[in-house]
Structure 1
Amino acid sequence: MQYPHAALQAMHVKKTAMVLPEPEGKRIGQSGVGKDISLLVLGDSSAAGVGVSNQNDALTGQLVSELAEDHRVSWQLIAQSGATTGWAREVLLQENPLNAQFVVVALGVNDVKNGVPLRVWQARIQQVLDLLADRHGASGIYWSALPPMGRFPLLPDPLRQLLGQRSDRFDAALRGLLERHPAGRHLPLDLDLDESHMASDGFHPGPLIYKQWAQKAADMIRDDQDLNKGATTLLG
């Protein structure tokens, strides 16, 4: 941290922060009727749905519900609290997730707060993008923007300000990498982070924020499908 006071705040937050569980519910399945598509959600505690009690109200559940209105969706969630981009790279190298046409990624917050150097993070993003596209068949990788950590209710100043500035720098680098990757898409997170819509820990999304996030991802996926109507998919 840039200031000793912020470093002390970070230690205090880590020691005293409420730890919420990952929600119950299925992490793989099929839903809907229509054209076959496949979906992988990959990431950290927000991808895992921390902040709600059931996967139906989390990012994956709400995204699948959106897409299943007019598609038959084969889907899988691979996520865990504390996950970093390096963790995702190892999962993709060592495990055999669903080969998915569409991947929604939520990674970066833990890299930011754990002090991972920006250049290291960029290299890991590139590795994850290449693995998803080349090894797992993804034609659309929707990497969620880093959230505005400078607005998280849990964090005190100056820690909140410093993490906010760092997350902004990381997100700018992420956007640049995604623009240069054929399958990469930057999924904006201009969401309503009013404290009343956050989870009780002041750090994770609540159901309304997950719903907004899922709707944005579904809209981007549908837009890409409209541009590629001749493309069929996949299945892993």
Structure 2
Amino acid sequence: MGMLHNVILILLAPLLVLQGRYVRRVTPKLPEAAGGRGGTLGEGRRLRVLVVGDSAAAGVGVDTQSQALSGCLTRELARQYRVDWLLVAQSGNKTEDLIHTLKQLDPSEFDVVLISLGVNDVLSPLSVSRWIEQQESLIELLKTQFAVKHILLTRVPPMNQFPALPQPLRWCLGQRAKAFNTRLAKLSLGDDDCELVNIEQALERQDMAVDGFHPGSRIYRVWGENAAGLIVRRAEL
């Protein structure tokens, strides 16, 4: 399949470039969710939570941060903990962009981090191996600069299901996302501090944002609840 896949990609390359330009031109540009990007809520044992990543982490697709990933995650965790949280995310962020941003921040301590990355890397010419090297650098940075004990890596969403993408571009990006996820799963299995978050079952077409590319409110809620469940389990061990 690998060889055949490469041949197909070479044959389709001119069309894929044209389709990529077309998608960028016609897809609505949605803003990042409005609202605060840090705070404290809940009562009980203190839990310091960092959410980092790309446009999905920044809440593109919903109006406010309370509807977005960080809001859904921290609200769920606040049932049991006093949650101190911070969001560091920007639309368009690739892994290397986030690493650069985090390096500019002062060292501080967080118990857990939830990461949303991969879509922009899949859209770039970056190789899977190079992406995994960047993920390893990011994990190391989180452990050293932010003393993070629990790292939740969100799987790259199944881009073959994105309504905004025409065929065959949708198929090609879906194959690439799968390859990224295969290596990401292997990486997380090799590090006890890491765990994968999978939200594929929530990605129904009608639940995506109007641009056909970003999550809608239901997907953010499922994502936040799934991640919160993993965090609670890890925190209580």
Aligned to 1:45: 55
Q: How far apart, in 2, do the equivalents of 1:98 and 1:25 lie?
A: 23
Give the match's secondary structure for 1:212: helix
Is 2:121 aligned against 1:111?
Answer: yes
Q: How far apart, in 2, do the equivalents of 1:190 and 1:112 lie?
A: 17
Give the match's secondary structure for 1:47: coil
Give the match's secondary structure for 2:157: coil
Aligned to 1:148: 158
Q: How far apart, in 2, do the equivalents of 1:111 and 1:99 lie?
A: 27
Q: How far apart, in 2, do the equivalents of 1:45 and 1:221 lie?
A: 22
Q: Which runs of 5+ in 2 are unaligned?
A: 1-8
- Give the residue type in structure 2 aligned to 1:19: K
Give the number of aligned pairs. Answer: 227
* TM, length-normalised to structure 1: 0.93
Q: How far apart, in 1, do the equivalents of 2:207 and 2:45 lie?
A: 34
Aligned to 1:208: 218
Q: Which runs of 5+ in 1 are unaligned?
A: 228-236
Report matched runs for 1:157-196 at 5 Å.
Answer: 157-196=167-206
Give the match's secondary structure for 1:12: helix
Residues 44 and 84, structure 1, Cα contact 8 Å, conserved in 2: yes
Q: How far apart, in 2, do the equivalents of 1:156 and 1:96 lie?
A: 43
Give the match's secondary structure for 1:42: strand
Give the match's secondary structure for 2:30: coil
Residues 108 and 145, structure 2, Cα contact 8 Å, conserved in 1: no
Residue 42 of structure 1: CA displacement? 0.3
Q: How far apart, in 2, do the equivalents of 1:162 and 1:5 lie?
A: 11
Among 115, 132, 156, the alignment partner of 1:122 is: 132
- Give the residue type in structure 1 aligned to 2:17: A
Residue 92 of structure 1: CA displacement? 2.1
Pairwise CA RMSD = 1.2
- Give the residue type in structure 1 aligned to 2:35: G
Residue 53 of structure 1: CA displacement? 0.3
The percentage of aligned residue pairs carrying the same residue is 38
Q: How far apart, in 1, do the equivalents of 2:202 and 2:230 lie?
A: 19
Among 49, 60, 63, the alignment partner of 2:70 is: 60
Segments of 4+ moved more than 6 angstroms? none
Q: How far apart, in 1, do the equivalents of 2:148 and 2:120 lie?
A: 24
Q: How far apart, in 2, do the equivalents of 1:104 and 1:123 lie?
A: 18
Residue 186 of structure 1: CA displacement? 1.0
Give the match's secondary structure for 2:152: strand
Residue 181 of structure 1: CA displacement? 2.0
